[in-house]
Structure 1
């Protein structure tokens, strides 16, 4: 391709957090194109924000839960059927406190605590295949130190 026709590849950078309490996973039910789908608390990295700060912020905005990150699960690459590319950085976190009065992000219908079996039984309701892959990796014990994710000023 010539320099004038070359397209710039710019994947969407997202974060997601697996939060577990009493054997149940914190998930959000959100409305996407009129369909209720399930996802981890997740969202886009904002300018000037660290990946870890984005993960904590997204959990709070989408569920009302404050969390403390405990581990890095992994980095995942996925291209949606419409050609949109995503890089997802997944973390594990412990629930710390809940504010039920906090308004949830637009599009979020509710936060749910599901067992891994309940989530696995709903493959057609998952927002993307990344949801199950991240959970599967977490349940298989995949955890890395948070120090693996470097932020350089």
Structure 2
């Protein structure tokens, strides 16, 4: 059977408050890295639902996506020779209050509020090459309606046509 290429679908939140962006510091095989609250899309959820879930898991804040900032692709090769392509759906929205009793997802060390300049000064610590591009697009005012992404009912287990 021929190899079938499939990108890994990820979701990310671009959350800005008073000129600072909410990022996570996470343990990776390459050491501590910075990233947007982000992760892989799970079966049965829309990209917006996945983004809300990942933000809660990684920051202990509820997040309600209100707009799509963009759809991005990147390709990364690991030190072990793994070649992975990612397709990222980045959203902006409304951040709810912190749930102080909620533990952060495995590997997340802490959350930070950094300016775009601080993010630019720490590019070597970015987990994803898309982190700064998403922030720059947000700062440029890129916002697309959530209904740009059509999610067929079959995704959630209904309407198989």
**Coarse TM-score class (shorter-chain normalised):** over 0.9
Aligned residues of 1:20 and 1:94 also touching (Cα < 8 A): no
Structure 1 unaligned spans of 5+:
none
4, 21, 25: which is aligned to 2:21?
25
Stretches of 4+ aligned residues off by more than 6 angstroms: none
Structure 2 unaligned spans of 5+:
154-161
- Deviation at 1:29? 0.3
- Deviation at 1:120? 1.1
Structure-2 residue corresponding to 1:80: 76
Two-structure CA RMSD over aligned residues (Å) = 1.0
- Deviation at 1:96? 1.7
- Deviation at 1:76? 0.6
8, 12, 19: which is aligned to 1:16?
12
**Alignment partners' CA distance in 1, 2:21 and 2:125:** 15
- What does residue range 4-153 of structure 1 map to in structure 2 within 5 Å? 4=1, 6-81=2-77, 82-153=82-153
Helix, strand or coil for the counterpart of 2:15?
strand
* TM score, norm. by length of structure 1: 0.93
- Deviation at 1:126? 0.4
Aligned length: 149
- Deviation at 1:118? 0.9
Helix, strand or coil for the counterpart of 1:128?
coil
- Deviation at 1:34? 4.8
